[in-house]
Structure 1
Amino acid sequence: MQKAVEILSQSATDLDTSELYVLLSQHYRKLNESLFALVLDRLMGDSRVRFDSQRKCFTHKAKKEHTGIVVTPAQNLPYVIEDDTGERFSLTQDAAKLYLPGDAVRFRAGHSSEPWDDVYLFANVTEVIDHAVAEIVGEVKKNKSKNGKVTYHFKKFDPRLCNLSVKFTEPDSVLEAWVDQKAVAAIERYPSKDDPRVYVRIDRVLEVNNDADLEIELAVRQFNLPYEFSPGTMQEAEKLPEKVLAKDRARRVDLRDVPFCTIDGEDARDFDDAVYAEPLKDGAFRLLVAIADVSYYVKPGSDIDHDAQMRSTSVYFPRRVIPMLPEKLCNGLCSLNPNVDRLTMVCDMVIDSLGMVKAYQFYPGVIHSHARLTYTNAWKYLSGEAVEETDVPATVRGSLDNLYALYKVLRQARKTRGAIDFATRETLVKTDEKGDIVAIVARESNDAHRLIEECMLAANTCAADFIGRHKKLSLYRVHDSPSVDKLLELRRTLSGFGLSLSGGNKPTAADYEAVVEAVSDKPYSDVIQTALLRSMQRAVYSPDNIGHYGLGYEAYTHFTSPIRRYPDLLVHRTIRGILSRRTYRPTVYAASCSVLNSLSGMTLKRTLLAMPQPEKEQATDPSRGAWVELGKITSACERRADDASRDVTAWLKCRYMKSIASDKQKFTATITAVTSYGLYVQLQDIFVDGFVHISNIGFDYYGYTIEGKLVGETFGEEFAVGDVVTVSLIDVDEDRRRIDFRISRSRR
């Protein structure tokens, strides 16, 4: 075994199993196939060696230089995630203070020389390629010792920076004015082995009103979100008109007399889409989806376009939004506000009685929205409740009735198509005027939500078809089928409920939907749907159309939200180019590529490598490289935004539980996942997730079974996904976003 590792460490190239056998047999003449099989088994589990299952090759990790991203859990030691494989490598305690979260590094794998460190492989960093953190937020503190000596230190608010030693570059006379103030410090010099300190300069006051605002500020920096528009962007925005000008309406279809309406949430501020429907003969409908014509105002190469591409998406936090576009565009000139003229790109469709789009066309138009409806008021009207004229004006009620009738047709077509129809709950954090949390509930969903969703799906599929028919490159929204290992895990969960997933290693969306329908009226429906979602791949943007697995579409793209999503803006430009008989070729700005070197970018890279690869003849288009890069950038930015929003929501849940719960209070919870070390649970009434460590389940010794259950050895008590249990709170760790419970009693 040791000789095999030595051979691999001395080899200039990777060795396949036959080559390793030949070299090893030169040292051991009695080597046979059975003995070699034992060596291979041990090599597979050896931390010094990596095995490539596709190429059937071994390589010694220490001889290869890797690249990775530094990840620092709150109040803990950092580690490095290798770019290509996602494998974790520890950092020694001495090295922990040299690297900041998000640092892109080059390293070699090896073992720690310190006797107190564990036996796992460590990352010996040879170079920091790029720093992700440029600012630190905190509070300047003043200390006075017994002998009268005064010192100043920086109280860091980000718990991930606990290992860093911070030193000010300013003299004490300057720091005195900042004492006890929350501030943003710019990093002047990063740590090195010669001087393992971070040198900072106090840059500006951190303006936050409460802890929730502070947590958002930390998330913005933790996930490296662009949050300030460039001066050039602000100047360009200022030059834009306050309203649609007469010259802007030229060569557009005038639809201002059509009673369009927007339907959005109560807290929405920007309105991308307006809809209108009218009946035709034989049960068919005409559906008009008018989308804000952002491409008319945001020109390629402009400063606004630079910033929009770098952000790629708006980021939504409770009580705060980091928009993709300046406010004058996203809340003003491009937003389809009621009773004002707005420029749009219109998808005009004819849909038959079976929900099939029989004809469509795209054209630039100008509309005058007749009403801004909320989901709540629209659903009240559609369900027959009395509503005020101000809530649902009479001018749009006829169209709303037609839209609802069309929705039922489209819904049936969706079912026939076999698309997966998840009914998962989203978190809604309710806050008061001060920003304090008053409740965490599930966001309500009704047919008004689903009506708009079906209209948008129809427009998006038409956009994808339009681009495909004209053989133009653009960004599709693609979704690959689940991986085999995820399917195995899913089927193990389903078996505990007496459920099965058809389709073998290649289940269809209809197979998934069959499971969703089977549990639609069961109390554990949410648990099963969550398990189904976890087994799915994440959708990405790509110029290579492989279809959308979950929706059951052969071609799908995003067309309907150009105010808040850059891919939609690119699709609009592609369609505008087709309409004017030219080809739109995008530009990738250098600053936008930085996200690809982040943790989100590297995770995306591994996702893309597992997806079907394009045909070689597609590589002839000169703009293809730019489209591929933009697909990566926009997908990585989307993941980054989701992670940042999820992180803040997790903190809010921790803060809320800390404020309302006591250790004697009991909560009813559902088990959402079972591991060998404990149970993940979700509270039924408060919509908060937490964890029950195996030591807090009971007095028995619990073993993890092949069916995915925890079973007590003495009393035989079982815990499985979907079980309802009663829990009490043990601890809330806001820094780690962790809520710990103990089992009080359980019931099936």
Structure 2
Amino acid sequence: MTDRTLLDHISRLPHGKATFKQLVKELGAKGVPRAELEPVLDRLAEAGDLVELRSGHFVLTANSREFSVGRLSKHRDGYGFLVADKPMQGVVGDIYIPTASAEAAMHGDRVLVRVSRIEASGRADGEIVSVLKRANATVVGEFRVVKRGNFVVPHDERLRDWIEIPEGMEIPPRPAETDRVGIAPLKIEKPEDLDGFIVNVEILEYPANGESGAGRVIEILGRPGDFGIDVEIVIRKHHLPHRFPGEALAQAAGIPEALSASDLEGRRDFRGMDVVTIDGETARDFDDAVWVDRAPNGNYLLHVHIADVSHYVRPGTPIDLEARLRGTSVYFPDRAIPMLPFELSTDICSLRPQMDRLVFSALMEFDHQGDLVAREFTPGVIRSVERMTYTNVHALLEGEAEQRERYKPLISRFELMREFAMVLNRKRVRRGSIDFDLPEPLIEFNEWGEMTGVTRSPRNIAHRIIEEFMLAANEAVAAHLEAAGPSIYRIHEQPDPKRVMEFEEIASHFGYSLGIGAIPVKKFSYADKRRDGQRQRKDVVLAEPSLRISPRHYQKLIAQIEGKPEERILSQQMLRSLKQAKYSDDNVGHFALAAKSYTHFTSPIRRYPDLIVHRLLGGAGPPAAELGPIAGSCSQSERAAAEAERELVAWKKIKFMEGRLGDEFDALATGVTKYGVFVELEDLFIEGLIPIDTLPGDRYTFRESLRKIVGANTRTEFSIGDRLRVRLDRVDEEERKLQFAVAKAERPRASSKGKRGKQGKPW
């Protein structure tokens, strides 16, 4: 008997529930013995798919109005929120878990929650019934020697509880090596020597109900100020796999670089064509190469050649299992954690110039409107003629004599690439595709991994060429696989109406709108204190709007604000109103790209879903039942990698600002809340807070209905988009926070009571 069979049976019953005795009788009549039923029930209950009520009935959690399953997100003060797997009827947002109940689990744990109260606003309270799956098998933190014993204080403040280290478990037999350099070997002879060191701990007993957990030290990473210790901490905090198993390394070492005759069997030979790679100056793994020509009928021919990782990484092998576990490569400022061993990622699979390399090729023909009229996918072999960079392609196309002379045989090819890329871009624009073409911060570091400054990441026509070609290939592959059967897609769902309306409120203060209709009027009600007495809340009752939102609404607004002072702040707020893209076996389209079908095909060296797509194209994909779980785990890996990358960069920014206390900066107000004004330094892309009680010249309160902070006497306002001159007052390295103060008010802006007219000048 399968799990799905039992779930389907219960879901079809009256009221969607049944007792164990009832299930034994009904399923027994269908030939399912009691001994077979019991383990299935236990397994589904442990997974949170079924829950047993006090009445003895089993009910599907997904259909219950009393229970919900999801991930616990804890606050450092102890309370938490359940981020539910599926929305619950009548509930808006996450479910609040008070401190007394949240103590039963750790941050990130998968838990089953009983919903105890749902208010008129849709906000809900709940209590943890059970922990379904632990998120933290290990914890990284600082070793402390105190009177009552030895403990590790978790680096992640949301974990809160100290982990006790029993006698004899303080020093690992062989401390694991790290990737740091310039550090003298550690000499730890007794537990007292570890005081103040950063260690990694395996949890043996989880903390619960205010009691400390217990664990053993498995790694001694170094002292807090050691070179590279920040990377080591972040890797372990986010549980990123970073050491390849011996079996995977042995397999990689045994793969020959030279191609044999059998490697070339059944492959198209593209080695006589002037195929090129175009990447950044510091790139080391080249997984895509391109070629463009004009067909005899005047159409455009586009070849996108992608490293054929699937030829070397076969399903179920040690490298494949590790790649699936990692899901993605992770890129830090001073190092990377590759998805594949270096022998593959930077050598055998990398499309290095003047070397024969195996590829999986997308061969496409487009008409002059950018419409795809023919497609073919085939294994191939190429020999890239040049390793181009975005910089030298841009220089060549801009007419720089030195670059045009150096790459003279390729000039016409690159000029045709530019022409065709703009055809593809115009096609995307016509259908409504969103393009946030904002400069990204490029953080500069010295040889010791210390931040030295920030510049704007260059973006030129060469970036546009590769972006358009990769988008075209991914769409063509997605359409082909969708017609062939089950697949993995890169989906981007419709935005949440509530987020869209919140953005509309912000945009309206600048005189803009997405053009989706009137904003519903907010009504405010005041709730009683939380049962644990920790906080009081004001509820916002907002009817769920029925929106007909399309990417074209965003596209039009982006065009309106282009080049305006408010472009960056509104673009950031627009991005926040959209959902995150993810992987799925259910194709719901890609909202931002205005694409009916989209997938990831172009980066199998660094993304596991791309490798699965290659296997599907080659007819050797996994069973359909595995595609959903693979998509889910890869989405989780992608989020963990992104969070780790952001955290490390934020940490390095904090270290950079430590020496700038008292300095003044130009800043942009990116948010206003009851806590104060959040600002971003305009030249450094560094964020911080001006606390509301430090704002000068008045007593200020936050007006949620206006999304403004207003002075009680002067009526001076602070709003999103204000430009301020700020002074750095405090650097909190432990909490990774910066505190600023308003340096001077050039022209205070007063509001007119009850009037919402044109805004005055910002600071």
- TM-score normalised per structure 2: 0.76
1: distance between equivalents of 2:319 and 2:339? 9
2: distance between equivalents of 1:67 and 1:212? 41
Equivalent residue in structure 2 for 1:279, among 288, 294, 310: 294
1: distance between equivalents of 2:581 and 2:713? 45
> What secondary structure sits across from 1:671 in the alignment?
strand
> What secondary structure sits across from 2:278 in the alignment?
strand
The one-letter code matched in structure 2 to 1:724 is: R
Q: How does 1:567-582 map to 2 (within 5 A)?
A: 567-577=609-619
Q: Give the 3 Å change call, closer, same or farther, for CA 478–191 of structure 1 in structure 2.
A: closer
Equivalence for 2:708:
709
Q: Give the 3 Å change call, closer, same or farther, for CA 732–570 of structure 1 in structure 2.
A: same
Q: Give the 3 Å change call, closer, same or farther, for CA 173–716 of structure 1 in structure 2.
A: closer
Equivalence for 2:447:
433
Equivalence for 2:427:
413
Equivalence for 1:655:
655
Equivalence for 2:96:
88
Per-residue deviation, 1:644: 1.7
Q: How does 1:310-709 map to 2 (within 5 A)?
A: 310-388=325-403, 393-470=407-484, 472-504=485-517, 505-577=547-619, 584-586=620-622, 623=624, 625-659=625-659, 661-663=660-662, 665-700=663-698, 701-704=700-703, 706-709=705-708
Q: How does 1:234-313 map to 2 (within 5 A)?
A: 234-280=249-295, 283-313=298-328
Q: Deviations over 1:102-127 (max 9, x none)?
A: 3334455779xxxxxxxx99876554
The one-letter code matched in structure 2 to 1:301 is: G
> What secondary structure sits across from 2:290 in the alignment?
strand
Per-residue deviation, 1:296: 1.0
Q: Does 1:131 align with 2:134?
A: yes
Q: 5+ residue gaps in structure 2?
A: 1-14, 17-60, 88-93, 118-122, 173-187, 518-546, 746-760
Per-residue deviation, 1:561: 0.8
The one-letter code matched in structure 2 to 1:418 is: G
2: distance between equivalents of 1:192 and 1:548? 42
Q: How does 1:192-207 map to 2 (within 5 A)?
A: 196-206=211-221
Kept in 2: contact 1:158–1:218 (CA 8 A):
no
Q: Give the 3 Å change call, closer, same or farther, for CA 73–316 of structure 1 in structure 2.
A: farther
Kept in 2: contact 1:67–1:104 (CA 8 A):
yes
Kept in 1: contact 2:503–2:574 (CA 8 A):
yes
Per-residue deviation, 1:514: 0.7
Kept in 2: contact 1:481–1:506 (CA 8 A):
no
Percent identity between matched residues is 34
Equivalent residue in structure 2 for 1:222, among 234, 237, 260: 237
2: distance between equivalents of 1:316 and 1:398? 35
Q: Give the 3 Å change call, closer, same or farther, for CA 82–195 of structure 1 in structure 2.
A: closer
Q: Give the 3 Å change call, closer, same or farther, for CA 403–153 of structure 1 in structure 2.
A: same
Q: Give the 3 Å change call, closer, same or farther, for CA 105–412 of structure 1 in structure 2.
A: closer
Equivalence for 2:107:
101
The one-letter code matched in structure 2 to 1:696 is: T
> What secondary structure sits across from 1:492 in the alignment?
helix
The one-letter code matched in structure 1 to 2:135 is: A
Per-residue deviation, 1:686: 0.9
Equivalence for 2:9:
none
> What secondary structure sits across from 1:206 in the alignment?
strand
Kept in 1: contact 2:207–2:214 (CA 8 A):
no
Kept in 2: contact 1:696–1:741 (CA 8 A):
no
Equivalence for 1:31:
none
> What secondary structure sits across from 1:168 in the alignment?
coil
2: distance between equivalents of 1:713 and 1:282? 72
2: distance between equivalents of 1:421 and 1:167? 52
Per-residue deviation, 1:212: 6.8
The structure with more helix, counted as a fraction of residues: 1
2: distance between equivalents of 1:483 and 1:109? 23
Q: Deviations over 1:331-351 (max 9, x none)?
A: 111111112111001111122
The one-letter code matched in structure 1 to 2:472 is: A
Per-residue deviation, 1:560: 0.6
1: distance between equivalents of 2:428 and 2:510? 27
> What secondary structure sits across from 1:176 in the alignment?
coil
Per-residue deviation, 1:420: 0.9
Question: Higher relative CO (CA 8 A, sep ≥ 6), structure 1 or 2?
Answer: 1
Kept in 1: contact 2:111–2:129 (CA 8 A):
yes
2: distance between equivalents of 1:188 and 1:706? 46
Kept in 2: contact 1:692–1:742 (CA 8 A):
yes
2: distance between equivalents of 1:139 and 1:546? 45
Q: Alignment RMSD, CA only? A: 3.2
Per-residue deviation, 1:424: 2.8
The one-letter code matched in structure 1 to 2:303 is: L
- TM-score normalised per structure 1: 0.77
Q: Give the 3 Å change call, closer, same or farther, for CA 387–199 of structure 1 in structure 2.
A: farther
Equivalence for 2:734:
735
The one-letter code matched in structure 2 to 1:454 is: E
> What secondary structure sits across from 2:613 in the alignment?
helix
Per-residue deviation, 1:739: 1.8
Q: Give the 3 Å change call, closer, same or farther, for CA 244–71 of structure 1 in structure 2.
A: same
Kept in 1: contact 2:72–2:83 (CA 8 A):
no
The one-letter code matched in structure 2 to 1:651 is: W
Q: Deviations over 1:366-408 (max 9, x none)?
A: 0111111221222122222234589x64443332222112112
Kept in 1: contact 2:299–2:366 (CA 8 A):
yes
Per-residue deviation, 1:442: 3.1
The one-letter code matched in structure 2 to 1:214 is: I
Kept in 2: contact 1:190–1:198 (CA 8 A):
yes
2: distance between equivalents of 1:316 and 1:173? 31
Q: Give the 3 Å change call, closer, same or farther, for CA 520–464 of structure 1 in structure 2.
A: same
Kept in 2: contact 1:703–1:712 (CA 8 A):
no
Q: Give the 3 Å change call, closer, same or farther, for CA 506–254 of structure 1 in structure 2.
A: same
Matched pairs, number: 629
1: distance between equivalents of 2:144 and 2:409? 62
2: distance between equivalents of 1:193 and 1:517? 53
Per-residue deviation, 1:214: 2.1
Q: Deviations over 1:197-222 (max 9, x none)?
A: 33333334426996573222222222
1: distance between equivalents of 2:657 and 2:403? 38
Equivalence for 2:182:
none
Q: How does 1:123-162 map to 2 (within 5 A)?
A: 125=128, 127-138=130-141, 154=152, 157-162=155-160
Q: Give the 3 Å change call, closer, same or farther, for CA 717–568 of structure 1 in structure 2.
A: same
2: distance between equivalents of 1:455 and 1:738? 40
> What secondary structure sits across from 2:189 in the alignment?
helix
The one-letter code matched in structure 1 to 2:565 is: P
> What secondary structure sits across from 1:668 in the alignment?
strand
